[in-house]
Chain A
């Protein structure tokens, strides 16, 4: 083995090693992400029936989705849930981060991070079962405390007009800690010198926030909004466990409809079309975020 290597040799081994190292990931990614996405798009234009033969149906599946009152209601539910879940998750996460962004003993910070982050790491499928007992009508934990305080009991999950709110409440409990953690890190990146100068000038706290802090962390805020939206649009298990989509269709989400149509009624093409709609919404939200952050965030 000689220590002297020709640059061209080195470049060739480098390229060869590079391809070798990305090979496992590329193959798996192609098999389990890229190809399935393309196949789903293809399926969305078809009526799929392996027994009697599949056929192309053009835009029929999409037409059905956008003209059916039930599916439109479910789309609206999902968008409504997304709007409220994202708004409260991100804003409460930011408020908590601002509150925690001050001097305190290390063990206290450890405890706070633990308390707010624990719900994030436990499966929604688990905590939803606990919450279903919290939200119970007569034996429910929350209604018990309402009664103790002399307040009327709430039909958290069994009333069509409150069920969605209850699901948002649990979602915020579960996820806001994630955004809190990200905002804490972002706030620590705001230069101390600028903040100190503002304090010396006697700038009021709310103004410091809107003039200095918020612009500085705005890229992170945008990231959080998009991240939260992508998650919220897929909402599934919390609803399945808390209300099974009910009462009626009041809390049914797109994911539930996809499983119901694809794996319940074996309307594969229709289910594919619904998942394409969901993906397009995600892509549009991401594109809007990209465009907005290019326009506003640069400073």
Chain B
């Protein structure tokens, strides 16, 4: 008995030690973010001062004001990012759920072949589609148009796949009953399937918004003009303009740029993680 209790105690101490180590690592993971926030509040002259600080000593917003007042069209760039992210998120929620419903619930010829072809899309990197898209966009005048970047991502294989997984895991009974009562498929989709899928829609919405907010490769190629840029691309330009003068301003701009994604994540951590594990495990 005594030894059993001893091993119990030993195991508990092992647990505590591991949790303590993880806690130290977790704080280490956050240091770059703490540093960037802390620098964004510092007076310009102190930005480079060592030792580095990881906690803001004052909440002086003058660097933020300076970014907005600078000759970089920061608000417009911010607007571009928001526009693209919202259009793509709404677009994908519509197109992906419609397609997923068809793949999960409806029978039609060629359904499975079509689904496999769609899944193959998961393997194509942006690098192998960007040249023709660029050439095509140049023809129709979509280069340097923020909406052009949005158009490319109005649907996604990943989104269809994710929503289909969620739909397949749902009981069919309600839908079948509605069908017997003479309800049309659109009504079943809209009134019965979608309301049950609220967590899945949140997951896809947040993942899509974040991903779109963060696009760089495509944005850099397609949106070269300053007024059409998105935040990730503009940040590098900002660094050139503002950075020579002040690191604090760059970090203030950065804080504002990561804010929507951080907020979304703080509010809805559960959905994001659910969506990601769902796609990872079921693959």
Contacts and interface: CB of A to CB of B under 8 A. Distances in A.
B partners with A: yes
Interface of A: 1-3, 5, 10-11, 13-15, 17-19, 21-22, 24-26, 28-29, 32-37, 39-40, 43, 96, 99-100, 102-104, 108, 110-119, 121-127, 129-131, 133-134, 139, 141, 144, 148, 173, 177-178, 181-182, 184-186, 189, 220, 223-224, 227, 230, 233-234, 236-237, 240-241, 254-255, 258-259, 262-263, 268, 271-272, 275-276, 278-279, 282-283, 286
A110 B250 CA distance: 30
B128 A139 contact: no
B128 to A, nearest CB: 4
Instruction: Please indicate which of the listed interface residues A10, A99, A148, A271 has the most CB atoms of chain B within 10 Å of its own CB.
Output: A99
B21 interface: yes
Interface stretch (B31-39, B55-63, B67-75, B197-205): B31-39
A119 B28 CA distance: 12
For the complex of A and B, list the 4 residue pairs with the smallest distance between their C-beta atoms, beginning with the closest.
Answer: A125-B232, A123-B214, A115-B26, A18-B108
Nearest to A124: B216
Contacts of B216: 123-125, 236-237
8 contacts: A17-B184, A19-B102, A22-B114, A102-B18, A141-B52, A177-B29, A236-B216, A279-B124
B154 A255 contact: no
A177 B22 CA distance: 12
Given A123-B232, A129-B250, A185-B280, A279 B185 contact: no
A5 B23 CA distance: 62
Given A14-B185, A21-B98, A271-B131, 18 more contacts: A15-B107, A21-B189, A22-B103, A32-B151, A32-B153, A33-B124, A37-B124, A102-B15, A102-B19, A112-B26, A113-B273, A124-B214, A129-B250, A133-B35, A220-B280, A220-B281, A236-B216, A263-B134
Interface of B: 15, 18-19, 21-23, 25-27, 29-30, 32-33, 35-36, 48, 50-52, 94-96, 98-99, 101-103, 106-109, 111, 114, 117-118, 121, 123-136, 151-155, 157, 160, 179-182, 184-186, 189, 210, 213-214, 216-217, 220-221, 231-233, 235-236, 239, 247, 250-251, 254, 257-258, 261-262, 265-266, 269, 272-273, 276-277, 280-281, 283
Contact of B276 (A11, A34, A178): A178
Nearest to B139: A50
Given A24-B94, A181-B277, A275-B128, A3 B182 contact: yes
Contact of A103 (B15, B25, B233): B15
A116 B126 contact: no
Given A103-B15, A113-B273, A118-B265, A278 B33 contact: no
Contacts of A268: 131, 135
Contact of A18 (B25, B95, B111, B239): B111
A234 B254 contact: no
A223 B107 contact: no
- Secondary structure at chain B's binding surface: helix, strand, loop or mixed? helix
Contacts of B265: 114, 117-118, 121
A139 B243 CA distance: 14
A22 B280 CA distance: 24
Contact of A36 (B26, B95, B128): B128
A137 to B, nearest CB: 13
B70 to A, nearest CB: 17
B281 to A, nearest CB: 6
A133 to B, nearest CB: 7
B131 A262 contact: yes
Nearest to A173: B29
A18 B27 CA distance: 50
A236 B33 CA distance: 21
Nearest to A96: B22
B188 to A, nearest CB: 10
Contact of B132 (A43, A96, A123, A279): A43
B129 A32 contact: yes
Contacts of B130: 36, 258, 262, 275
A110 B236 CA distance: 32
Contact of A182 (B109, B127, B251, B280): B280
Given A19-B108, A22-B99, A29-B121, A126 B131 contact: no
Contacts of B254: 126, 129-130
Instruction: Please indicate which of the listed interface residues B25, B232, B266 has the most CB atoms of chain A within 10 Å of its own CB.
Output: B232
A144 to B, nearest CB: 5
A28 B128 contact: no
Contacts of B262: 118, 121-122
B217 A234 contact: yes
Contacts of A178: 276
Contacts of B103: 22
Nearest to B182: A3
A1 to B, nearest CB: 6
A108 B19 contact: yes
B20 to A, nearest CB: 11
A237 B277 CA distance: 26
A99 B21 contact: yes
A114 B264 CA distance: 12
B30 A118 contact: yes
A41 to B, nearest CB: 8
